[in-house]
Structure 1
């Protein structure tokens, strides 16, 4: 009587990749793709993404510091200008890049593993890291070269950067929908951003604006970001007009609105 061979043990079932891991892999791949396509073709590569805004801010700082010797706060106009310019550049740069996130990755969004959230987060993470490095280099360089007499408060500065990132993410997400849904929106946004540089208190203090213009400009969230950033560097500047709740409301409100619109119409947007 022949022995019946024992049945082979069942093969272990393959573990499905966790959705979070797949999302992280997609975001990392999109970041590497953007770095290769955007910065990989020029000499110096990604370094120019940091050095270009650093050089621009440094040049403007030198020019304006020669014209304005007495800043409204502190002893260094370079520091006063940088604390206003850096949050403004972070907001404008990230919102501009996120507005084109869907157009840039439209072909990849046809694959089920890549979602519109991946495309937005990839651009957001890459450009936020760039702006953080720009801020570190500019502010650190100014404190080394000039006599600033500032007392940085790390917690307040971190809150300012965090709220600036949230606001840029929210407005940029909403813009990514409007840019594809309404092609004319890009021109409208570009025109609206031009006077915003002068209306965000980069060169002056909000406290010195006369009424009733001060009450009108209070609704500009960039004024709150600039005021919070300067509060973090100048111990004597309280900036009582700053409302972090208002920044959270605007940032989260635009973010939720943009995500809901994209979730509803993202398939239709891919066909436009």
Structure 2
């Protein structure tokens, strides 16, 4: 927290205020154009249940991806390892994203008639899915960004259409075949579906697979950590 925001006026306040302000602004803009959401009666909460997990994944995975790059000076100390940098980023951004989600969901439900019934245990599962997938992708990219200079801009290109392919503006159930089969492999579709099940108990979301998301996350995390254990010294010195 100190190294990331200690020098800026307002400090850690901006780590929460910036994503909250951005998501709230987008929610208000899209609420004007989309009056009737596919689920429920309030577009703001429908959109928030999609964009909050998406932005949490995007921000957290990007921060973890650059852990070694951000901490190269600190990693010159023998007592500090790359795992310290990774865990610090994961812990810091987990707390931040939980605070962001709490402020946004609480603000919408307290100021608008959403007709939703938030289930805390289901929200916790959705947040756990976000943290694992973001950490796993971040760990993989932490190696790939440093090992291959061309991978980071290429990854940025891949991520651009993801905003439209993660069921933020629509529900997976409305996608026709064969496109629904292709989108099923996007783990963010499952995470968004889980978050919506948490707020809309009547929404079945039968396509959501916890096994797929947690399994994929653990496999990617294991591969990423294995590569970092083997090559982290070379990456630090490059």
With the shorter chain as reference, the TM-score category is: over 0.9
Is 1:43 matched with 2:17?
Answer: no
What does residue range 218-237 of structure 1 map to in structure 2 within 5 Å?
218-237=184-203
State the shift of 1:75 in Å.
1.4
Which residue is equivalent to 2:124? Answer: 158
Task: Please state how far the C-alpha of 1:270 moved relative to its aligned partner.
Answer: 1.5
**Alignment-derived partner of residue 72 in structure 1:** 38
The ranges of structure 1 where at least 4 consecutive aligned residues each deviate by more than 3 angstroms after the TM superposition are none
Q: In structure 1, what is the Cα distance between the partners aligned to 2:2 and 2:81?
A: 20
Structure 2 distance, partners of 1:184, 1:145, is 46
Give the superposed CA RMSD.
Answer: 0.9
Per-residue CA deviations over 1:212-241 (Å, capped at 9, x if unaligned) read 110001000000000000001001101000
Offset of 1:127 from its aligned partner? 1.1
1:121 pairs with 2:87? yes
Deviation at 1:261, TM superposition (A): 0.4
Shift of 1:124: 1.1
CA deviations 1:92-135 (Å, max 9, x no partner) are 00110111100111122222211111001111111111111000
Query: What CA distance in whole angstroms lies between the structure 1 residues aligned with 2:78 and 2:2?
Result: 23
Q: What is the aligned counterpart of 1:172 among 135, 138, 141?
A: 138
- d(CA) in 1 for partners of 2:58 and 2:155? 11
Q: Does 1:61 align with 2:16?
A: no
**Residue aligning to 1:3:** none
The 2-side partners of 1:55 and 1:107 are apart by 32
- Any idea what SS the aligned residue of 2:115 has? coil
Measured in 2, the distance between the counterparts of 1:268 and 1:138 equals 42
Question: 1:37 & 1:235 partners in 2: Cα distance?
Answer: 41
Encode CA deviations 1:39-85: one digit per residue, 9 max, x unaligned. Answer: 22222111011011111111111111111110111111000000001
State whether structure 2 residue 181 is matched by structure 1 residue 215: yes
Question: Normalising by structure 1, what TM-score?
Answer: 0.86
Q: Which runs of 5+ in 1 are unaligned?
A: 1-34
In the alignment, what sits opposite 2:107?
Answer: 141
In 2, Cα distance between equivalents of 1:112 and 1:156? 41
Name the residue aligned to 2:53.
87
Deviation of 1:154 after TM superposition, in Å, equals: 1.1
Does structure 1 residue 182 correspond to structure 2 residue 182?
A: no
Larger Rg: 1
Q: Normalization by structure 2: what TM-score?
A: 0.98
Q: How many Å apart are 1:243 and its aligned residue?
A: 0.4
